[in-house]
């Protein structure tokens, strides 16, 4: 057994070093954005070689065999229990069928069987979190209809409030407020206001549901720390003093990025966790504090140098943090181990996540301290026997972050074996643990572009926990698209859309697959609702893809009309320079094909102001020759626009 005092010393050294390291590198959010394409005469995709039906069938059979073999190797056992996420799916589908009485009964039954545990209100939290997955206009329509028919339905207000809350953040993204375009911020604020109204209505109708207070606290904190947020927090902990998520949310609100301060975070943690009994679940706030400090160090100290940077880092790390973190980890000894794993798992995951704001070094000392306290081992083992599946999973993700995919894969598989050997309160929670590991494995495969493994892990996750558990249910469709198995991608996305996956993102990737099949009408039909959804991250890519598809089918009038219909494509207040360059280039081509040469020249010239796309330059030269002395092109100049660039696909 490793000496805990030695671990404590090492952990404190690690905290100071890691916070200094995080302060040395930029803190950038990881946000996947939709790629845009240029219009003809440049192709959007590398041409797919023509294949005979026999060749295609053989290729498909080979892929199916590889996926099947990988799933067999994982030893996946068929699902035998109903998870909270299954009930979430049933709830969503029932609402969309218009059977509101049954939807109310489903939710009420879950609520009646839920208990306030040390760190969650289970299973109601899991149930509510997974009814709304992404933007789903059909679901919203029926929620409005439900409330119109029964304005006193607590459940209807809770679900609709959750919808506005989730979709609002999808619209806003994770950027700092100053980096979010005004139109997205306005839409986000409107959604948060609607969510607040619904949650307040739900509390008025039934004040005995802790989830309602937690969601309300989240939405009133949309602008950061405020008097209103403080009032809601005080009212919430008065009603539910033992509901940990309330304290976790309030601690996050006090971070500098939300107009709080490092001192405020420490003071809050010391007030509620420091003064709590040794076995209080509130001690976990110290681990949450460390996660928040990692992010703060990355943002606050990054621009400084020399003594100023060291002083900044020193102000972030304080001696009492070490004792608090160890007290949080010691909760394992007095807690249900499964509840403890569930609560600590995402915290350690954030510490280890390079693309969030952590790093492998940020979690190393904490991981070793946790392993010592939990009687586990983070080293590579051929035959795991007593290890923590949660620590195995985190160790695997650390290996993946530093680029050792072989060790990552081995440790993920050890996590699966250890989960199988762990004693769970019931089969539901065992299935949740296994599915969570598979979900992380699928993300790992995505990060490393191992798309066959990605499909296998996604199918394994679905087999264990059902189709509504995954953090990214469209992964299989996306993987087939990336491998240019376009027909399979269409099938997977269609199955998802016909179930509870009728999200705009599902339509987007199906549209991309239809593009690969050169089924232009079908791709346009899928891109159209995405492009018309002003609040969706994928709308610019969808609108530009539509313009390309119209051009490919020779409908240049349709291409021009589509682009003009989506005027946001040409708004420099909304779009980055790279998107503006593509948009003007695509419209230049449409004008050119319609014989509107001066309009085409104007657009190509404007395109070149925003980016030096070779296609635009070539068309401009051709137009100048055709127009002769009548042409008066302007001189391209650098233009600064807000937002992040959307990349142009390689041709």
pLDDT in the model for residue 647: 33
In this prediction, residue 48 carries a pLDDT of: 39
pLDDT tops 50 at residue 639: no
pLDDT bracket for residue 445 (50, 70, 90):
very high
Task: Please state whether beta strands 121-122 and 115-116 pair in parallel, antiparallel, or not at all (unpaired).
Answer: antiparallel
- Residue 648 per-residue DSSP state: B
Residues in the chain: 651
d(CA 191, CA 181): 16
**Paired tokens of 289:** 């504090």
Residue 644's pLDDT band (boundaries 50, 70, 90)?
very low
Task: Indicate if the pLDDT at residue 357 is higher than 70.
Answer: no
Query: Does the model's pTM come out above 0.75?
Result: yes
Burial of 285 (0-12, 13-18, 19+ CB in 10 A): buried
Question: Nearest Cα to 510, choosing from 521, 519, 528, 523?
Answer: 523
Instruction: Give the pair of three-digit tokens for residue 275.
Output: 């003064």
The proportion of the chain whose per-residue pLDDT surpasses 70, expressed as a percent, equals 82
Residue 647: DSSP 8-state: P
639 vs 113: CA distance, rounded Å: 59
Which of the four pLDDT bands, split at 50, 70 and 90, describes residue 355? low
Query: Taking residues 214-228, what's their average pLDDT?
Result: 90
Query: By mean pLDDT, which of 310-319, 330-339, 348-357 is the weakest?
Result: 310-319
Question: Residue 246, CB half-sphere, CA atoms under 13 Å: how many?
Answer: 26
- What pLDDT is attached to residue 17? 45
**Cis status, amide bond into 66, omega within 30 of 0:** no
Q: Which CATH class is domain 81-253?
A: mainly alpha
Q: Which of 509, 511, 436 is nearest to 475 (CA)?
A: 509
CB 508 within 8 A of CB 542: yes
pLDDT at 632: 65
Percentage of residues in the chain having pLDDT higher than 90:
62
Residue 561 clears pLDDT 80, i.e. is over it: yes
> Please, which residues have CB within 8 angstroms of residue 162's CB and are 6 or more apart in sequence?
128, 129, 131, 132, 195, 215
In the numeric block, the tokens 């209809």 are attached to: 145
pLDDT of 367 reads: 83
pLDDT, tens digit, 9 for 90 and up, residues 139-149: 999 999 999 99
Q: What is the mean pLDDT of residues 513-529?
A: 96
Integer Cα distance of 549 and 37 in angstroms = 10
Which H/E stretch holds residue 548?
helix 539-552
**Model confidence at 223, in pLDDT bands (50, 70, 90)?**
confident
Residues 167, 221: Cα–Cα separation, whole Å: 16
641 confidence band (pLDDT: 50, 70, 90)? very low
With cut-offs at 50, 70 and 90, classify the pLDDT of residue 375.
confident
pLDDT band at 46 (very low <50, low <70, confident <90, very high): very low
pLDDT in tens, 4-32: 454 454 554 445 444 444 443 333 222 23
Region 215-236: what's the mean pLDDT?
92
Average the pLDDT over each of 227-231, 450-454, 628-632 and give the range with the smallest value: 628-632
Average pLDDT over residues 607-623: 94
Element (H, E) at 121: strand 121-122
Task: State the pLDDT confidence band at 179, using cuts at 50, 70 and 90.
Answer: confident
Q: Does the pLDDT of residue 576 top 50, yes or no?
A: yes
Please say if the pLDDT value at position 227 is more than 60.
Answer: yes
Whose CA is closest to 507, among 470, 468, 481? 481
Residue-wise pLDDT tens digits, 80-109: 999 999 999 999 999 999 999 999 999 999
Q: 554-558, 565-569, 633-637: which has the minimum mean pLDDT?
A: 633-637
């Amino acid at each position: 057994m490793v000496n805990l005092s030695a671990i404590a010393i090492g952990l404190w050294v690690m905290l100071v070093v890691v916070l200094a390291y995080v302060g040395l590198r930029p803190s950038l959010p990881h946000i996947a954005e939709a790629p845009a394409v240029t219009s003809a005469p440049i192709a959007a995709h590398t041409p797919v070689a023509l294949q005979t039906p026999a060749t295609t069938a053989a290729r498909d059979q080979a892929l199916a065999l590889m996926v099947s073999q990988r799933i067999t190797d994982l030893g996946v056992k068929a699902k035998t229990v109903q998870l909270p996420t299954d009930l979430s799916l049933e709830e969503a589908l029932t609402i969309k069928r218009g059977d509101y009485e049954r939807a109310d009964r489903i939710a009420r039954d879950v609520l009646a069987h839920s208990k306030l545990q040390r760190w969650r209100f289970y299973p109601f939290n899991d149930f509510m979190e997974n009814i709304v997955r992404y933007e789903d206009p059909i679901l919203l329509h029926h929620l409005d209809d439900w409330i119109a028919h029964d304005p006193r339905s607590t459940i209807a207000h809770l679900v609709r409030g959750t919808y506005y809350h989730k979709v609002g953040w999808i619209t806003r993204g994770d950027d700092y407020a100053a980096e979010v375009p005004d139109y997205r911020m306005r839409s986000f604020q409107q959604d948060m206001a609607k969510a607040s109204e619904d949650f307040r209505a739900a509390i008025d109708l039934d004040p005995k549901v802790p989830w309602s207070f937690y969601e309300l606290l989240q939405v009133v904190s949309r602008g950061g720390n405020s008097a209103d947020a403080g009032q809601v927090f005080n009212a919430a902990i008065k009603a539910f003093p033992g509901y940990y998520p309330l304290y976790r949310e309030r601690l996050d609100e006090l971070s500098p990025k939300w107009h709080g301060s490092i001192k405020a975070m420490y003071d809050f943690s010391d007030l509620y966790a420091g003064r709590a009994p040794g076995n209080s679940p509130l001690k976990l706030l110290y681990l949450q504090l460390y996660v928040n400090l990692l992010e703060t160090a990355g943002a606050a100290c990054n621009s400084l140098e020399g003594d100023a940077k060291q002083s900044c880092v020193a102000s972030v790390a304080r001696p009492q943090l070490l004792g608090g973190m160890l007290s949080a980890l010691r909760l394992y000894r007095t807690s249900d181990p499964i509840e403890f794993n569930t609560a600590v798992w995402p915290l350690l995951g954030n510490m280890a996540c390079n693309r969030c704001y952590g790093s492998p070094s940020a979690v190393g000392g904490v991981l070793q301290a946790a392993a010592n306290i939990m009687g586990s081992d983070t080293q590579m083992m051929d035959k795991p026997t007593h290890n923590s599946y949660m620590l195995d999973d985190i160790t695997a993700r650390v290996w993946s972050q530093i680029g050792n995919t072989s060790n990552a894969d081995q440790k993920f598989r050890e996590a699966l074996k250890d989960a199988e050997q762990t004693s769970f309160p019931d089969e539901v929670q065992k299935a949740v643990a296994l599915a969570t590991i598979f979900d992380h494995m699928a993300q790992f495969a995505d990060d490393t572009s191992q798309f066959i493994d990605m499909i296998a892990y996604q199918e394994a996750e679905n087999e264990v926990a059902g189709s509504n558990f995954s953090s990214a249910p469209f992964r299989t469709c996306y993987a087939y698209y990336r491998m240019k198995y376009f027909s399979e991608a269409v099938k997977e996305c269609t199955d998802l859309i016909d179930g509870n996956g009728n999200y705009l993102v599902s339509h987007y990737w199906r549209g991309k697959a239809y593009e690969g099949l050169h089924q232009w009408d079908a791709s346009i039909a899928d891109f159209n609702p995405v492009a018309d959804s002003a609040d969706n991250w994928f709308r610019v890519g969808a609108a530009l893809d539509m313009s390309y598809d119209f051009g490919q089918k020779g409908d240049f009038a349709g291409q021009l009309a589509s682009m003009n219909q989506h005027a946001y494509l040409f708004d420099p207040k909304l779009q980055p320079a790279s998107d503006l360059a593509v948009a003007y280039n695509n419209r230049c081509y449409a004008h050119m094909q319609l014989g509107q040469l001066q309009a085409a020249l104007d657009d190509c010239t404007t395109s070149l102001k925003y980016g030096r796309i070779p296609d635009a330059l070539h068309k401009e030269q051709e137009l100048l020759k055709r127009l002769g002395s009548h042409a008066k092109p302007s001189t391209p100049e650098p233009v600064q626009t807000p937002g992040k660039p959307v990349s142009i696909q390689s041709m």
